[in-house]
Structure 1
């Protein structure tokens, strides 16, 4: 059921919709196709909201941390805020450090009203049209994001897009998780496992250069599971550059991690990561068909954001698992490329599944 929360500064209705099934329910809104709440039912029958979000609507109109956003057209960074495609040079907004592009620019899709295309008790589809030249990107593009609560206490996020020109598309979801509950301190005590043995190298500007870093037995290595806070302040260049974890992990996506039940439109879906609260009560599994995942530990949460239930979110109060093509891939031809051909439909799936002990 749709409920009007308020209006955008230009007078458009902001609608909130709840979807639910089994032990999971979510609230999403048509502004930014944004995930607002995600409640997991515990064995005690209590619910725990495990994603961060603002108390008031107005804060979402700026939303510098990008709580819950459906980011697009292109998530993460593009070096020099420019790229070349088939001999044409494209210039984008320089909204990151005055020289790079971050999350598409100053007026990205996650700060616009989307249409509600379809909804049911456990699923909702948002749609938006992005015209040619929008944010500097080529092609008239029709984009859909569908949130579905499945049968396994899982939130399934499906992305679909089509363009009339060859273009770029690299969406992600920017939700911050805290499995103790939103606003319940920081996530340094969460245990994380990532199925990866390398990251893309990036310096202080967070722009990947094309190099890979082998991370086995370094503070970046989560292959066997580690507590986030155990090594986050280590004297290690990659961590010092980013002020903590904010890195693209190159996912293995091997048969060992294949989850066939989530395969989508002919693409295989793999487990990328697992994380848990400090008590070992609640576990979350991340699945994707994409080649990379940004682990971000909320290093730049200000410590002043007023969240749901009037709780102040602390620095590192949430952790993001942003499935993606590698940042700056458009300027590194050896990386997997976030390019779609004219008239060819793009499909991708990311899943967050919850287990209790």
Structure 2
């Protein structure tokens, strides 16, 4: 580790310190917590781009995964059950007592990670999940590296290995708002943001937000975001299909702009899908966030993949390495 040591900013319930490390350069300012590997702050040319909390203790239990790495399985697993190699596993039903969401109430976003390496433009955190943690099989060794790689570009590289067959689906759950006030204060809604997602199909869901198993074309539906469209009051919490395979290098999965902002955000990733969530339930966190004050673009595996044999597999076996790359690329737009 370099001499850029992380600083203590709070305490976990077990007494262990919550640490923070920072990256600066290429127009970006980034602050990362050991708790949940959270992106607590992400500024582009001095302007805040993401929802964050001043009090790090808010991330222990209150925030809805703001900026965190979520897993062991991001998104939902129907009724908290899946079968792998003939064995059925029961997971906590932490969403309205019905479904398993984002790895459980004590998923990776609630765990205190370890800073393994810190440099001027890159930092790496690690976490080891125990066999049986939140009901999942296998001990899982996870690594998250944040790196400033180019002007306005932050790359997240996630890897994992296991000692036993398991399922893995990791993503970052940052809430973006390109209209956040520079000096703080209430965040406006994301209604004036425009979103473009280059996906020709999406996953329809039932009333519990569980995929039906169909892969439906976006053409002729409100889910056709292949051309940028103002979000307005439309509701989104859906996975858009980018392909059936994980790509070797990040490909564009979404682009965000906002009326009144001269900043554009492009999200690129290697995952086969991206979940677009409009932040409808943010107000329920009790932290002063208004509903729809941030949006998420979460590159990931197909939701509920273990329960749909036709979906791309999310199984990881000993000797294999899970790898997911997510890039956030901010640029200044001309003519704004």
Query: What is the TM-score normalised by the length of structure 1?
Result: 0.87
Task: Report the Cα distance in structure 2 between the residues aligned to 1:27 and 1:337, rounded to whole angstroms.
Answer: 33
Among residues 308, 320, 323, which one is paired with 1:347 in the alignment?
323
Structure 2 gaps, min length 5: none
Task: Report the Cα distance in structure 2 between the residues aligned to 1:74 and 1:212, rounded to whole angstroms.
Answer: 20
Superposed, 1:306-325 pairs within 5 Å as 306=287, 312-325=288-301
Among residues 332, 342, 346, which one is paired with 2:308 in the alignment?
332
Say whether residues 1:281 and 2:262 are aligned partners: yes
Query: What is the TM-score normalised by the length of structure 2?
Result: 0.93
Say whether residues 1:271 and 2:252 are aligned partners: yes
Task: Report the Cα distance in structure 1 between the residues aligned to 2:44 and 2:286, rounded to whole angstroms.
Answer: 23
Structure 1 match to 2:39: 35
Say whether residues 1:70 and 2:69 are aligned partners: yes
Task: Report the Cα distance in structure 2 between the residues aligned to 1:220 and 1:120, rounded to whole angstroms.
Answer: 41
Structure 2 match to 1:226: 229
Contact 1:153–1:353 (8 Å) recurs in 2: yes
The SS at the match of 1:60 is helix
Task: Give per-residue Cα distances to partners, 1:26-62, cap 9 Å, x unaligned.
Answer: 0001011111000101xxxxx1111101221221111
Superposed, 1:148-159 pairs within 5 Å as 148-159=147-158
Contact 2:62–2:286 (8 Å) recurs in 1: no
Task: Give per-residue Cα distances to partners, 1:242-268, cap 9 Å, x unaligned.
Answer: xx11000111599xxxxxxxxx9x813
- Kindly tell me the number of residue pairs found equivalent between the two proteins: 325
Task: Report the Cα distance in structure 2 between the residues aligned to 1:152 and 1:291, rounded to whole angstroms.
Answer: 26
Task: Give per-residue Cα distances to partners, 1:90-148, cap 9 Å, x unaligned.
Answer: 11001112121001112111101111111101111110111111111111111011111
1:149 CA displacement = 1.0
Among residues 3, 8, 19, which one is paired with 2:7 in the alignment?
3
Superposed, 1:208-247 pairs within 5 Å as 208-229=211-232, 232=234, 244-247=235-238
Task: Report the Cα distance in structure 2 between the residues aligned to 1:107 and 1:303, rounded to whole angstroms.
Answer: 18
Task: Give per-residue Cα distances to partners, 1:224-253, cap 9 Å, x unaligned.
Answer: 110011x61xxxxxxxxxxx1100011159
Contact 1:209–1:332 (8 Å) recurs in 2: no
The SS at the match of 2:306 is helix
Assess, with a 3 A threshold, how the Cα gap between structure 1 residues 24 and 275 changes in structure 2: closer, same or farther: same
1:64 CA displacement = 4.2
Superposed, 1:96-135 pairs within 5 Å as 96-135=95-134
Contact 1:21–1:150 (8 Å) recurs in 2: no
Root mean square deviation of aligned Cα: 1.8
The SS at the match of 2:214 is strand
Say whether residues 1:177 and 2:176 are aligned partners: yes
Task: Report the Cα distance in structure 2 between the residues aligned to 1:314 and 1:138, rounded to whole angstroms.
Answer: 37
Structure 1 match to 2:47: 48
